[in-house]
Structure 1
Amino acid sequence: MKSLLVVSIVFVLIIIQGTTIGGTRFPTSDENSNEEYTYVEYEEEESSEESTLPPIPTTTSRVILSTELETEGPTIANEFECPTNCKCNKKITLVDCSHQNLMQIPKNLPQSTVYLNLSHNSLKTLNVNDLINCGELRQLYLNNNEIGKIVNTEDFAKLPNLHHIDLSTNAFKPLQGKEFSKARGLLTLILTDNKDIVTSNVPIIQTEKLKTLYLANCSINQLPENIFQNLSSLVALNLDNNPLNLTQGVSAFKPLTELRRLFIPTVPRHIALNLCKNLQVIDIINLSLENHDISCFLLFNNATYEESTIRTDLFKTPTDPPSNSSIVVSTTAPTLSTHIQKGTEVLKQYANAAANQAKTTYEKMSMMYMILSGLVVVLLVAILSVFCIIGSRQLGREISYRKQNYRKYSAGNVTVENPNYERYLIECEKRQFTNE
């Protein structure tokens, strides 16, 4: 019955993981960025330390309108004005200024702005000071501009609700790590399609609560050892479409103690196990250029590389486009039933090891109990012996005293006179006379 329950649990976990692999992807630069925009409504989970994995978009749509935009140009709604050449919803919480060829961020943005879309413009600098009027801002979309630097970064502290920033497809120079240090509520940062954004010996980001980081298609070929040292809370990382050489860069993942989802192009077989050792809580590593992923759980349990692979094409629907990967992958990758069987064997080994350990522990405890019981018995016997010796000596003294000081004493069945009785009386009289 227990084996059947274990098999069922493993089967459900693999199906769920497979569904995620087959149906959820990070956005990449290969997809068309001219799609209609839709806003993703994020739950307010900044204060939750045990929040679930952050939502991951299924397409490259950057912005999603939760309500239809009905106002355009100078319009007064709820005592706030929609900026010129922008579109806003009725409550002026959603401001869409995209595709306007803007050279700078509009001045006096509405204080009620929650979602701000400035994508597909000609912005060259992000001046955070232009946004401080938007105290309720949660999501900021600046993708597809020409932004090369960020100034007045200390003003991020005046945007405590900002938890999502999209800066993909811009012209950033190597980041110095301090640009987002004051954005203490930031949870998701998208830096996809920014060439040469990583520099050696400098952490890419310094922020405490960041959960999701997109670095796809950023021409990253080496990972400096300290690139992720300030991202211990990161749970999802996308490094797709980068010419990564992981031979010398595996140790860079060690600070990511909470990482659960990793997307990379491929992993050489000889460093797969070492990569898993540096990722403490991750199980599945998603490989975008392969038709399989890697299970660190199986690698840790002495499985070979082939046995630890999970075929991702098993979960593709008939409408999925064929893979254009140029990498040849062995067709002997294990099937789903093979993984179930392998997982069941591993769990049985764990169960047997636990049972043997429990049996050994029980035997050791039984032996210790017997030894302690014997010591207690010996101690009790020793204590009783001491009391008996002391009692017998005291009894002997009492008998001797009575023989000397009493007039008569019994010797067996015969009562005799005590010859020392008269001497005893004389001694008592002498003591009494002396005391007087």
Structure 2
Amino acid sequence: SKFRQADFNLDPLWQIRFDRPLGYFAEILSTIGILGFLAYLILVLVALNKAMILKTEILIFPLLAMLIGQAYYYQNTTSSFIFWFWLAMIAGLCSKIKENKISFILNKETLRGRIMAFVGIIVISLISLFGIFFISRVCFADYFYKQSSKKSVGEEKIVLLKKAILINPYFSGYYITLSQAFLNNALSESQKPVKDNQKIFKLVVEATNSANKATQLSPNWVMTWQTLGMIYQEVLGLVVGVEDWGIKSFEKAIALEPTNPVFYSKLGKIYFAKHELDKAKEQFIKARALKPDFSELQFFMSLIKEEQGDIKGAIKSLERLQVFYPLDLDIIFQLGRLYFNQGETDKAIIQFQNVLEINPNHLDGLYSMALALEKKGDRAEALAYIKKALALSPENQILEKKFEDLKN
């Protein structure tokens, strides 16, 4: 990620993150260097040479096939186990003990020989048991993790992920997925007509705790910091004082993946939420330099123009964006809002109608349409839109007040 080329952002698949190499050889070269790669090759070639001397073709050809495969394919747990098990079998067949050198040491008739044989058996047994225990834990944890991926938002998904973490608490990927599950549940709860604020707060805390644990386990994995930053960003309207934590998370993500425009954009959004417009603009400009066709950046640059008093400039920017992205709800709604604030009510109504055609349950769209119709004098139609909005959010005090105003 740190050496990701900036020109890859122009590719249609630019959001794909390559977190592993094409083949196992490439992984060895990038993790333990040339000397480690040469040592690995020498080990394998020595094993092949010994096997050829003993003429054990049944072991040679499968090993050669696996070795060639390592050059072109990434090695998973199963293929890795088979490969090293194959090497162990060759080593076992090739290990011929010279009697004149160590026969006395391992002679079971001597006390020393018996002790060494016993210790050897104990050590091998312990290593084997540890290996079986470790592999079993990984497999069982992966089983629960895979079961959780079949579940959507809900408590059952969280329970399965917690089981996976309980069995294998050292894999940061489990914590990332768990934090996302907590966040999704919190967002789902926040959209209910009757919200449980205490439950939302608890879910948000659980989400941040899980994401923080992932950063502790894998501080150099960009995905952990990205997840933590996104959680802080998502709860900006739900929890007070998370802006600075979000900024630190995305700054760490940028240090690990400096050519990803998404991180600069998200950092800019947080600064925009804090009303630090110059810093927000600086981050959006950096993101645009990395990906000029990033529509999200142009959208927020338009909002910055509005905040700085250039309303006409903001409207022109959003009008240009809508030509290229005619189904983007944020662009359509914000352009309608600006039209309404500038007194162009008819244009605003057209924009709000477009929003509601794409998403009939768009709460802001329903409320804004009611305001525009009220301004046009059509109070009955405005009241109908407020009723629809209240059905989606019955405890919304702003909607209740507007309903009473229109009704009376």
Q: TM-score, normalised by structure 2?
A: 0.31
Quick check: which one's helix share is greater?
Answer: 2
Larger Rg: 1
Quick check: which one's strand share is greater?
Answer: 1
Flag the structure with more relative contact order, 1 or 2, with Cα contacts below 8 A and sequence separation at least 6.
2
Q: TM-score, normalised by structure 1?
A: 0.29
